[in-house]
Structure 1
């Protein structure tokens, strides 16, 4: 949004043409941007980390899946040791994930993999976006074929309606991000107790909330004076 000082709970979001499915990580907040995944996309998501040194290849991997008009989606995940240049010698793993809907069953699988890096033994969590923040979940093993059974259109509609109601309630109960250092009780991601950090360059000013995964609150472009995100 380019509207200054207007929270997510009051904004009317305008999106490009196509399917865009809203979602969040249970941290929806009026002062944070809305998240949407374009239909036809698969996004890999890992556990929250402070730096790559904390990562463990066996950590659970989540795939956020948003089907397009044809009931298909795809995405890529690149992995390596996280240090050194062995990836230039082929020691990496590039995985091409695909999803396809057939007869009310969404099948998620690996279409192709490149590189000599061995696939870690880990659990794979599929989250199929339905819209309005609603999701269908299934668990399996990375590298194997997983299936998600779609309920009837009526049941999907109920799931979306319930999710939208819960989303609205979270926004209404959220405490605004303070502009000054102030101790506020509550879970991380909903109530915060630290001042947002400002990152400046010659042309940009970014305001970031460290406690919510470094989420950007706003981006101001100095030459034009425009507020790009708020």
Structure 2
């Protein structure tokens, strides 16, 4: 969701930099940012605290984050091509699941004003779903497999992982998607390219990279 469907990755960066400035640290640059994308909140928090050696507890950092983020969420919006793709897949009765590392309360804060798009998903799995064991967030595949199980239950189907397209923007998510067995469509943030390294090696023949959802070749996948 974040950075793929809606522009919340940019908001995360703004908020983190505001907090870092309080301690004379920062800014958050993309060499670290790419390691945070798609991670569950507590893991991302620990990486930031360790990297910048902040004199603050994870609980205090999270409190500051939530306070600032809540002011920003109403400003987030769909990224180019995202809403059109959701509407298209829904209109074709193609099963679609949203699997986000965001906890449920953050998901609701980010999407309450965007229900016209998110209500079209057949299944929504958040990072705090009890079916995802502790420590098994992205880059592990569990969240995607839970999402697929939800789709199969709803449609009384037996869709296999290799029949699925998984859309991701971050490296941990790409790793999780490959481990789940799906074909990855990777849309990195425009500012991330300089620090991604060998994207072909990351994909390992199990997906492809495009610059925007606007450029998705739906006919290629029979959509």
Q: Same fold (TM over 0.5)?
A: no
Of structures 1 and 2, the one with the larger relative CO (CA 8 A, separation 6+) is 2
If each structure's helix is expressed as a fraction of its own residues, which one has the higher value?
2
If each structure's strand is expressed as a fraction of its own residues, which one has the higher value?
1
Shorter-chain TM-score range: under 0.3
**Which of the two has higher C-alpha Rg?**
1
